């Protein structure tokens, strides 16, 4: 089976079949999904009263998807702080950890590396401040 995300229509089918007492394996076969995907969908999006509601599942899924895609652009002041620490030969991991620990702002080391390699692609010199290039 190839991976496809569960659609809104499939969520309504899952709900209807689940309410009829049909097993998760049977539901999965009818939808062409793996049974663990159906189990995970029901458990992840179950309401407080224990019932699976497809409308709530759609809303929660959209919300999780939006939250997972953080904008990796930061203000110039924040970037200058990162670049200053980088020029002091701090590693991106140290910069990220220090900024987070001091509650200045949150940036991952991977995002810092992305900025460094973006800068290098356009002829910048930030990569020369890394300990290993």
Long-range own/partner contacts, residues 31-38 (CB < 8 A, 24 or more apart): 31/6, 32/1, 33/1, 33/4, 33/6, 34/1, 37/6, 38/14
Alpha-carbon span 109 to 100, nearest angstrom: 11
Instruction: For residue 94, give both structure tokens.
Output: 């140290």
The pLDDT value given to residue 69:
62
> Please, where are the H alpha helices in the chain?
8-19, 24-31, 35-44, 54-68, 76-87, 92-101, 109-121
Q: Sketch the domain layout of the chain as residue ranges.
A: 8-68, 76-129
Q: Which residue, 60, 23, 133, is CA-closest to 31?
A: 23
The pLDDT value given to residue 4:
79
Distance of CA 41 to the CA centre of its chain: 17
The pLDDT value given to residue 70:
61
Chunked into runs of 10 residues, the chain (133 residues) has average pLDDT values of 81 95 95 94 92 93 78 82 96 96 92 93 93 74
């Amino acid at each position: 089976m190839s991976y496809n995300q569960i659609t809104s229509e499939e969520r309504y089918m899952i709900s209807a079949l689940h309410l009829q007492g049909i097993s998760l394996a049977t539901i999965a076969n009818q939808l062409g999904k793996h049974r663990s995907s159906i189990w995970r969908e029901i458990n992840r999006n179950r309401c407080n009263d224990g019932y699976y509601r497809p409308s709530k599942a759609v809303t929660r899924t959209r919300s999780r998807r939006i939250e997972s895609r953080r904008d990796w652009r930061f203000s110039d002041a924040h970037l200058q702080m990162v670049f200053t620490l980088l020029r002091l030969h701090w590693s991106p991991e140290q910069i990220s950890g220090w900024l987070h620990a001091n509650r200045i702002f949150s940036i991952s080391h991977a995002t810092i590396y992305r900025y460094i390699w973006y800068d290098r692609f356009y002829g910048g010199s930030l990569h020369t401040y890394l300990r290993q290039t």
